[in-house]
Amino acid sequence: MTTPPDTGAVPGPPPIAPEPVERPVYDGRAREVFSLALRNAGLTLITLGIYRFWAKTRMRQYFWSHVSVKGERIEYTGRGRELFLGFLIVLGIGLVTLLPYQLLLNFVLSRNPPLYVLLVIVFYLVLITLYWAAVFFARRYRFSRSQWRGIRAAQTGSAWEFGFLGLGCTLLNIITIGITVPVTSIWINRYLMTRTMFGPHYFAFEGRAGRLYGPWMATWGVGVGGYILIVAALIGLCSAGVLRDNRASVAIIMILLYALWIGGWLAMYGWYRVVQFRRFTDWTRYQTLSFASALPAGRVIGMIALYMLTVVVVLGAIAGVAIAAGLSAAHLAVDPRAAAAVVGALMVVYLPVASIARYLIVIHGVAGPLCNTLEIRGRLDFDALEQSAEAMPKRGEGLAEMLDVGGI
Amino acid sequence: MSAASDDTPRITATFADGRTAKLREVELDFARDALEIRQAGQTLERWPYREIVLVEERFGDAPMRLRHGDRAGRLTIAHAGLIRALIERAPHLSGRLRHTVSLGGFTKWGIAVGTTALAVYLLIAEMPAIAARIVPLKWEEALGEAVVKQVTFIFARKSKTCDASAGKAALERLRVRLTGKLKTRYRFKLRVIDHAMVNAFAAPGGYVIVMRGLIDKAENGDEVAGVLAHEIGHVVERHSTEALFRSLGFNLIVATLVGNTTSMGSAVAEVGTGLASLSYGRAAEREADAIGVRLLNQAGISGAGLAAFFGRIAARHGKDKKRGGKKREAKSGKTKSGGDVGIWGYLSTHPPSAERARRIKARSTGRGRAMSATDWAALKAICK
């Protein structure tokens, strides 16, 4: 690399540069998040789910407006009805395509098995493409509805182009049993980031997969290695004849091993995603600004684990009550009242608790550390930034809603 | 004339005009009908009070962010005194945030809500009957096959239908007797599933499923024949196909309301099992009764069996419910009906009534038996 000129404003990870460093501030309060989420859950329940678009909008408005950069709060300008209309359109398309497709599948099932298999494969290919397109649509909507100092962000590019890129990456990851994950994640993020704008300028992104391979191979190793260990343990127990004599204890050991493996892998994967986020942040530029993140993985994993624990406890409680009331799986299939009771309990107890817990634990709990470990370095004449000329999409996120794409 | 600004302290607010990201420290002048945003003695913008909109809900003493209609400019006021002074002149800013609503917006909303309501209505009320009429026989049979597979998988021991050869032959003779003279597009397929529940139901495309419990609780072949004739009536009238489509539509709506597509994909499989618990409504039951009695009459089988069967299980169910219900209530303090319906599944879908039994008896002209003693014994042993 060339030696930096003495202007000071050099992009690139600086050793000890005398650049100004800015940290966003998140000042949301748990009490407010809770009361907002509670009110939203109640209204969503009363309206049989319809309110959730407005609920989501209120939550986003809250979180966006409680993050400030250089003392100025971010703003979310989306509306509930935009989400609702987007959803209705996707719902309509879904109904006219999925219903005939399902009937067709049933028809083909017993008559032409190869065609059936082909149809199912095509269905999943389309589904994966749609998933990535949904990621793009959702991001484009959110960015176009985010502004700071009156200036909008924007996501340009094509959802379908991105959908096919995502499909290709997913297939490559499947074929290589996950070894290519760091490479494909960079491709995907580069497509999005280099087409992301704030005001009149694009962001820049330059990733190096090599810096992700260490953490990823460790994560990958825990996943694949753990699985091999479990299979080996089972084979060992079988061949030693232990299984024949102590069926119950072997089952318990296997379940424990399995739980340990899943839990361990999830934690590792969470850690990897945080590392990836930190690296991606490092590799992102905006004009003369560079970014850095020191997001602590422990905090993120802990919050997600707490959330999952909450969900499991609530589901367990519902199942416990159902079993205590004498309900069995066969019951649910034949007795509409029993099925209605369980579905009702899920709707009245599980959905609200899960939604409140998600906002309070995962999003509120991570927003603070996320913001105050994020650094924006460098000098930029913000006053000269002009309004984005990108047209705003009219409707939001319908597809993401249907495909359950994560995020706020 | 800009009055009332004398007692307001000259404290600044922050303003971004929406054209550049420049933030300005501005002074606010409260004119009579508009808020004036001023800098260095110059008025940058005039916002009529009625057109000022809260950007977001305010929590506690958070700064107030405002916009002018739908324009991109943003005014942020942090000072409590200024906020109070503004709210005095624009009271709508004190409450919840309000979006500017236009007539066009209302029209769009009306269309959106109306279309949705119409779609939901069509999907549940009208489409199922139409779809059941136009669906090709082969598709209907495929659907029925899927349902039978599903039900067999869930309920039957060893996940297969009962197939003792003598029993199957007896069932086949009964089928020929009942449906031999019936003009219909369906080929009837009667199946017995090894489960203790007293239940029988029709699946699309000519399938009639009887659970072993019903044969066990029946006193003779006439009763089983009566139930089968009734279910065949449902098949002929395509009630189960219709119900399946209705349930499918309903599932799709629920799945989409909750926002989950995984259940959308498996909707067909789900509703398959639901058929066992679907009641088609009184009119449909009466239609099926009428066809059932006609089939019995054509076959010369007495309808007394069907009527007696209804009467007996109704009486038995009532007793069980009293006994079992009390016990269960004492134990868990919950669910009055939970356990009984599991065994007496047929009752939950075919509410027996004295009136129905009377009508069946009155219309019945047959005097003969449905099957020989050996056939009845064979049918009782079909699951062994």
pLDDT tens digits for range A29-56: 999 999 999 989 888 887 777 888 899 9
CB contact under 8 A, B341 and A110: no
Predicted confidence at residue B350, as pLDDT, reads 66
* Mean pLDDT (whole number) for B260-268: 47
The confidence band for A238, taking pLDDT boundaries of 50, 70 and 90, is: confident
Say what the pLDDT of residue A336 is: 59
**Residue from A212, A380, A184, A219 nearest A281 by CA:** A212
Which residues 96-155 on chain A approach chain B with CB closer than 8 angstroms?
98-99, 102-103, 106-107, 109-111, 147-152
Rounded to a whole number, what is the distance in Å from the CA of B372 to chain A's nearest CA? 33
Q: Which of A102, A149, A384 lies at the smallest CB-CB distance from B267?
A: A102
- Give the pLDDT band (50/70/90) at residue B256: low
User: Residue A201: pLDDT above 60?
Assistant: yes
pLDDT in tens, B65-120: 999 988 889 999 988 888 989 999 988 888 655 444 455 666 766 776 777 777 77
What tens digit of pLDDT does each residue of A325-361 get? 776 666 665 565 666 677 777 778 888 899 999 999 9
- Mean pLDDT of the residues in chain A: 85
Q: How large a percentage of chain A has pLDDT more than 70?
A: 85
Is A85 touching B (CB cutoff 8 A)?
A: yes
pLDDT tens-digit readout, A100-138: 776 677 666 666 778 888 888 888 898 899 889 989 988
Residue of chain A with shortest Cα separation from B339: A326
List of residues 6+ apart from B275 with CB closer than 8 A: B147, B151, B201, B202, B203, B240, B243, B244, B247
Rounded mean pLDDT of B225-231?
91
Q: Which pLDDT score is estimated for A211?
A: 93
CA distance A36 to chain B (A): 10
For B20, which of A99, A336, A383 is closest by C-beta distance? Answer: A383
- In whole numbers, what is the pLDDT of chain B averaged over residues? 77
CB contact under 8 A, B142 and A351: no
Residues in chain B within 8 Å Cβ distance of A50: 257
Closest alpha carbon to B271 in B150, B98, B108: B150
Neighbours of B101 (CB within 10 A): 9
Q: Report pLDDT for A256.
A: 87
pLDDT score of A298: 94
Task: Measure CB to CB from residue B21 to each of A333, A337, A383 and give the nearest one.
Answer: A383
Give whichever of A303-307, A382-386, A399-403, B92-96 has the largest mean pLDDT: A303-307
pLDDT tens digits, residue range B122-169? 777 777 778 888 888 888 888 888 788 877 877 777 767 888 889 999
| Residues from chain B contacting residue A91 (CB–CB below 8 Å) | 256
Is the CB of residue A91 less than 8 Å away from at least one CB of chain B? yes
Q: How far apart are CA A327 and CA B85, in angstroms?
A: 62
Question: What are the angstrom distances between the C-alpha of A98 and each of A396, B143, B264, B382?
Answer: 21, 15, 8, 40
Q: Is the pLDDT of residue B208 over 80?
A: yes
What integer is the mean pLDDT of A173-197? 95
Chain A residues in contact with B273 by the CB 8 A cut-off are 333-334
- Asked if A176 reaches chain B (Cβ–Cβ under 8 Å), the answer is no
On whether the CB atoms of residues B311 and B241 are closer than 8 A, the answer is no
Task: Give me the residue from B20, B259, B348 closest to A404, CB to CB.
Answer: B259
Asked if B76's CB is within 8 angstroms of A72's CB, the reply is: yes
The string of pLDDT tens digits covering residues A261-279 is 998 999 999 999 999 999 9
Cβ separation of B142 and A109 shorter than 8 Å? Answer: yes
For B335, the closest of A75, A85, A325 (CB atoms) is A325
Amino acid letter at B34? A
Question: Which pLDDT value is given to residue B334?
Answer: 34
- Residues on chain A touching B98 (C-beta within 8 angstroms): none
Rounded CA separation A194/A157 (Å): 9
Element spanning B209, H or E: strand B207-211
pLDDT at B343: 53
Closest residue in chain B to residue A101, using alpha carbons only = B265
Answer yes or no: do B145 and A91 touch at CB < 8 A.
Answer: no
Q: What is the pLDDT of residue A237?
A: 75
Beta bridge partners of A343: none
Inter-chain CB proximity B73 and A403 less than 8 Å? no
The DSSP result for B257-312, as a single string, is: HHT-SHHHHTHHHHHHHHGGG----HHHHHHHHHHHHHHHHHHTB-THHHHHHHHH
Is residue A1 very low, low, confident or very high in pLDDT (cuts 50, 70, 90)? very low
- B321 has pLDDT over 60: no
Query: Regarding beta strands B74-77 and B12-16, do their DSSP bridges make them parallel or antiparallel, or are they unpaired?
Result: antiparallel
A98/B21 Cβ within 8 A: no
Q: How far apart are the first and last CA of chain A?
A: 40
In A344-373, the residues whose Cβ lies within 8 Å of chain B are 347, 351
pLDDT at A396 over 70: no
Alpha-carbon distance of A67 to A368, in angstroms, equals 9
pLDDT at residue B263 in the model: 45
Are A333 and B74 within 8 A, CB to CB? Answer: no
Instruction: Give A149-168 pLDDT, tens digit per residue.
Output: 989 999 999 888 999 999 99
Of the partner residues B20, B146, B332, the one whose CB lies closest to the CB of residue A106: B146
Identify which of A196-205, B285-294, B366-375 has the greatest average pLDDT: A196-205
Give the model's pLDDT for residue B262: 47
Q: Please report, for residues A76, B23, B29, B49, the alpha-carbon distance to residue B17 in angstroms, rounded to integers and kept in the order given.
A: 17, 8, 17, 18
Closest chain B residue by Cα to residue A79: B99
Measure A225 CA to nearest chain B CA, in Å: 30
pLDDT at position B331 is 36
- What pLDDT is stored for residue A343 in this prediction? 73
* Cα dihedral B8, B13, B18, B22 in deg (nearest 10): 140
CB pair distance less than 8 Å for A107 and B267: no
**Residue A389 amino acid letter:** A
Indicate if the alpha-carbon torsion angle A139, A144, A150, A151 is positive or negative. Answer: positive
Q: Is B7 helix (H, G, I), strand (E, B) or coil?
A: coil
A190 pLDDT above the threshold of 60? yes
Confidence of residue B313 (pLDDT cuts 50, 70, 90): low
Contacts of B109 in chain A (CB under 8 A): 81
pLDDT tens figures, B182-198: 888 889 999 998 888 88
Which pLDDT band, with edges at 50, 70 and 90, does A408 fall under?
Answer: low
Q: Does A89 touch chain B (CB under 8 A)?
A: no
Q: For position B367, what pLDDT does the model report?
A: 82
Q: Are B83 and B64 in contact (CB under 8 A)?
A: yes
Residues B201, B348: contact at Cβ < 8 Å?
A: no
